[in-house]
């Protein structure tokens, strides 16, 4: 079924309302940032928050912060004492993102790391309940390998953009980002250590449960 604007509006009307601080974050991101379509948005944000609640998450890792929408959403769904570690390589976004984390009241629940995730992740001495991957598509398989042993049995890995605007089904697409997504999807599908399900939410979400 094609999701047109009318149906998308109906879906939003029957999903938990977007918090005011995240509405403000959306507006500011569209006004001040390049590529605002990278925002998670309310549907995906509520989905991630719900996942955190369902697994009773206390330790979450996000790879790819952008302006903080998903990190704030997941922090809102944590158990008391829970922490989201979020990593982004773009230090130019740091001041903007930290301000909205502050406004959200989630400062104590979010640890914001600036740097290359492939260097930051090995330094994190944590066992995660949930990992959300939404960064450089060329490195998805690398991120997966790096985080796998840091996810508890029964924990979740969620990867965004795994349909990549439909490019994954187009054999003519040979750009590095598409090849990265294809390699990641195939890696997960062939991994006997997990159960996986690909959802057509937004640009595609892969839900992966570690056995």
Q: Flag the least confident range among 57-66, 68-77, 141-150, 197-206.
A: 197-206
On average, the pLDDT of the chain sits at: 94
The structural domains of the chain, ordered by start, are 5-210 (3.40.50.150)
Separation between Cα atoms, residue 205 and residue 51, nearest integer Å: 13
Question: Can you give the pLDDT at residue 2?
Answer: 66
Q: Per-residue pLDDT tens for 74-119?
A: 999 999 999 999 999 999 999 999 999 999 999 999 999 999 999 9
Distance of CA 203 to the CA centre of its chain: 12
């Amino acid at each position: 079924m094609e999701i047109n604007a009318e149906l998308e509006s109906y879906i939003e009307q029957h999903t938990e309302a977007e918090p005011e601080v995240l509405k403000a974050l959306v507006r500011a991101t569209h006004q001040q940032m390049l590529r605002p379509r990278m925002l998670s948005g309310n549907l995906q944000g509520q989905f991630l928050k719900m996942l955190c609640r369902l697994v009773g998450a206390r330790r979450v890792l996000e790879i790819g912060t952008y302006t903080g929408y998903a990190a704030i959403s997941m922090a809102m769904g944590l158990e008391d004492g829970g922490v989201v570690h979020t990593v982004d390589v773009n230090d130019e976004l740091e001041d903007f993102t930290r301000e909205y984390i502050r406004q959200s009241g989630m400062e104590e629940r979010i640890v914001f790391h600036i740097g290359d995730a492939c260097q930051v992740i090995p330094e994190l001495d944590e066992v995660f309940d949930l990992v959300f991957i939404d960064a450089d598509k060329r490195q998805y398989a690398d991120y997966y390998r790096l985080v796998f042993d840091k996810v508890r049995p029964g924990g979740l890995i969620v990867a965004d953009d795994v349909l990549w605007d439909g490019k994954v089904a187009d054999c003519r697409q040979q750009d590095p980002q598409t090849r990265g997504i294809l390699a990641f999807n195939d890696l997960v599908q062939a991994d006997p250590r997990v159960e996986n399900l690909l959802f057509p939410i937004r640009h595609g979400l892969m839900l992966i449960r570690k056995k």
